[in-house]
Homo-oligomer: A and B are copies of this chain.
Amino acid sequence: MKQLKIHLPVKDIPRQWYNVLPSLPKPLPEAKDPKGDFSPIELMKKIRPRSLQEQDAAPNKWITIPEDVLDKYLKIGRPTLLQRAVNLEKYLKTPAKIFFKREDLLPTGSFKLNTSIAQAFYAKEEKFEGLISETGAGQWGTAVCVSAKLYDLQAQIFMARISYEQKLYRRYYMKLYGGDVYPSPSTKTAAGRKMLDDRPGHPGSIGTGISEAVETAANYNGKFAYVSGSNLPHVLLHQTVIGLETMKQMKLISEKPDILIACVGGGSNLGGFFLPFFEEKMKKPGSITFLAAESTAVPRLTKGTYRYDAGDSSGLTPLTKSYTLGQDFIPPEIHIGGLRQHSGSPIIGLLRHEGLLDAVAFDQTDIFEAGRLFSICEGILPAPESCHAISAAIKVALEAKEEGKERTIVFCLSGSGFFDLEGYRQILLSDKKKDVYAHA
């Protein structure tokens, strides 16, 4: 029997996060305030834990993971498995080896806990009484509520109203851990009330959630720490535990990746997975390809522009430079494949701009089909976001077959699809699509 699962012993869990900032080919463009009197930069200084702000500009390559965060990492099941997709390889008849990192195995079903735990730790240390944030579909909100509970903090989550009403399980999950979950726009904030006045029955979005969470954090005057699940350097930093483990696991079996693949929304899964390999890539150009998989419905990296833009729709957050589709961009309503952000991480934007990151886009029918094929081959039902990475891995594996090349592909399985069966149904089951992988 082949070795399918590569365990990293508990004693080998990474004890430092990797900070790419000092090794970037150019300095990261700094955040800016928009025109006018209001300074989002000053506001953020007040409502974000100071340690996290410091990490956003840390000069050191390695940052020690606090002992207590390490303990929590063990508690949630880190190190996670690295697994080889031998059945998918066989189905594709590819000479490529396909490995995948199992972040879907974390307790909330996604990789988000890696940073929410760290953020809760620092918030607690700095005497905040709770965490406040926004969530779209609920992966991030769940991670925040679980992490808050681990540190005996309160949690308030503004959840896009449409998800609040449709994704009941995610909402219950957050409440189970004691989180207060509000549909956004809500009547709890001035911003929310204005949005509801302007548009009764407003469906909400991550953007409306950010506005309400930020306003609430500001009003509570230091009681609640405002935390974010993507984009920011400290979020990518905490997520490097994924790539660092993967690196050790590949060494354990004497394999070297030719290409690393991850899906990209805000960029924290991708950053956390790729960045630890960055210096190796720079030392030997062409040695490792970084490939980002995004959605054709939200084609940030493949069709966006590299420029300053706001992270939310109401101008409460600082302007940052990255690839963007514009702050007014709204994904088509039929798009349910996740990765909906109009803009993303400045670090990822810089890498892309410098030609160090490839990108490919897939439409949602293709990604759900890829997810189904993967689940049939490997038995694991992936989240729609992760299906983008799977689509890219399949594409590369088929190209390797075409060229008769052995390639070592490693992708990140960022989350479980257990909460996304409605999406699978809408795309694959409702319209009598033929089962293209019927006999996988």
Contacts and interface: CB of A to CB of B under 8 A. Distances in A.
Interface in A92-106: 105-106
A7 B8 CA distance: 10
A421 B169 contact: yes
Interface in A241-284: none
For chain A, the bracket of interface size reads 35 or more
A53 B273 CA distance: 50
B438 A178 contact: yes
A381 interface: yes
Given A146-B379, A379-B146, A1 B74 contact: yes
A11 B422 CA distance: 38
Best-surrounded residue of A10, A71, A421 (most CB of chain B within 10 A): A421
A5 B1 contact: no
Contacts of A378: 75, 107
Contacts of A380: 107
A362 interface: no
Contacts of A122: none
Contacts of A105: 105
B376 A149 contact: yes
Interface stretch (A228-236, A401-409, A424-432): A424-432
A31 interface: no
A176 interface: yes
Contact of A421 (B173, B375, B422): B173
Best-surrounded residue of A76, A146, A173 (most CB of chain B within 10 A): A173
Contact of A176 (B150, B372, B439): B372
A221 interface: no
A57 interface: no
A435 interface: yes
Nearest 10 CB-CB pairs, A to B? Answer: A107-B379, A169-B421, A418-B418, A172-B425, A172-B421, A76-B379, A7-B7, A107-B380, A175-B429, A176-B424
Interface of A: 1, 3-5, 7, 10-11, 13, 70-71, 74-77, 87, 105-107, 109, 146, 149-150, 152, 168-169, 172-173, 175-178, 372, 375-376, 378-381, 416, 418-419, 421-422, 424-425, 428-429, 435, 438-439
28 contacts: A1-B71, A1-B74, A3-B10, A4-B75, A5-B10, A5-B77, A75-B87, A105-B105, A107-B375, A107-B379, A107-B381, A109-B418, A149-B376, A152-B439, A168-B421, A169-B421, A169-B422, A172-B421, A172-B422, A175-B425, A175-B429, A176-B421, A176-B424, A176-B425, A177-B375, A177-B376, A418-B418, A418-B419
Given A105-B105, A176-B381, A176-B425, 19 more contacts: A1-B10, A1-B70, A1-B71, A1-B74, A76-B379, A106-B379, A107-B379, A107-B380, A107-B381, A149-B376, A169-B169, A169-B422, A172-B421, A172-B422, A173-B421, A177-B375, A177-B376, A178-B435, A418-B419
